[in-house]
Amino acid sequence: MNLNNRDIGSQEGSWQSIFMVACWHLWNWRNKAIFEEDFQRPNDPSQVILRMTKDIEQYERCGGLFRDSDGRWLKGYTQRIGDCDALHAEMWRMFTGMEMARRQGYTHLIVKSDSKLLIDMVTGRCKLNGKTPILVNRIQDLSNLQWHVMFKHTWREGNRCADWLASFSLNQSSYDVRILEDPPRELQQILFDDVSGACMPRSVRVVL
C-alpha cells in the first residue's frame, strides 16, 4: 500500500522514493546504533531522507530549455531516462536538447552544462576510462553537422532553470520527450532572476 500511494509526496520527491529511502535509512541507522559505539543519529533525519531522495531521483530524468540571445524563453523539454548516474543524465540532457534544436531549425547554438567533465569530453579534452561513451560520440556527430555549435561550462547556480525542469519531470510517467511551449508558472521567477542578472551565493573551498 505504501509504495502504491501516489497521493503523498513533496517537492523533494515522489512518495515511492521517499518511502524506499526512509526504510533503508531506518535499517542502516538501527544497525549502526547496535554495532558502532560512537554512532549518533542525525538531528533532522527527515532532511537527510529528503536530500537523498532528491539526489536519487535527479539522475533518472533530465530537462532543459532554449533561450534567445537576451535570455528569454523559447521552448523547454523534460524526459524520464531510467536509472543512470549524474554524468549520463547530463549526457542525455545535452543530446536530447541538441536533437530538438536541430529539428527546430536553429542554426546557432550555445550548449551550456554544469558538468565540466562532460564539456571536456564533448570537446575532446578528455575521455572516460580511456574511452569515449556512445552518447558523447552522438553529441559530437550532431555538433559536426552544418550549423554553429559552441559548448560552454556554467556553474550549477547558473543552471537552475534546467535543474528545475529535470525535477519538474518527476511525475512524468512516459519516457517520451515532453515539449513545453510555455514556461511553467513556478519557473518564471527563476527565469526572471537569470534575465535580470541576479547574483547567487556559491560556497567554495579555500585551502591555506
**Domain regions of the chain by residue span:** 9-58, 61-194
Distant-in-sequence, close-in-space partners of 87: CB < 8 Å, separation ≥ 6: 115, 117, 118, 128
Q: Residue 169 above 80 pLDDT? A: no
What rounded mean pLDDT belongs to the chain? 81
CA angle 47, 21, 54 (to 5 degrees): 55
Q: Is the C-alpha dihedral spanning 205, 55, 164, 178 positive or negative?
A: positive
Most confident of 40-44, 93-97, 196-200: 93-97
CA–CA separation, 98 vs 95, rounded Å?
5
Q: Give me the pLDDT at residue 10, please.
A: 45
Q: Give me the pLDDT at residue 36, please.
A: 82
Half-sphere exposure (CA, 13 Å, Cβ side) for 132?
Answer: 15
Percent of the residues in the chain that have a pLDDT greater than 90, as a whole number = 36
Mean pLDDT of the 150-163 span:
88
Q: Residue 200 above 60 pLDDT? A: no
Q: Give me the pLDDT at residue 47, please.
A: 75
Percent of the residues in the chain that have a pLDDT greater than 70, as a whole number = 79
The beta strands (E) that lie in 53-177 are given as: 61-67, 73-80, 108-113, 148-153
Q: Give me the pLDDT at residue 45, please.
A: 79
pTM for this model (two decimals)? 0.66
Mean pLDDT of the 89-114 span:
94
Q: Give me the pLDDT at residue 173, please.
A: 73
Place of cell 561550462: 153
Contact 95, 139 (CB under 8 A): yes
Q: Residue 8 above 50 pLDDT? A: no
CA–CA separation, 15 vs 6, rounded Å?
7
- Strand arrangement of the beta sheet that strand 178-180 belongs to: 61-67, 73-80, 178-180
Which overall architecture, per CATH, does domain 61-194 show?
A: 2-Layer Sandwich (3.30)
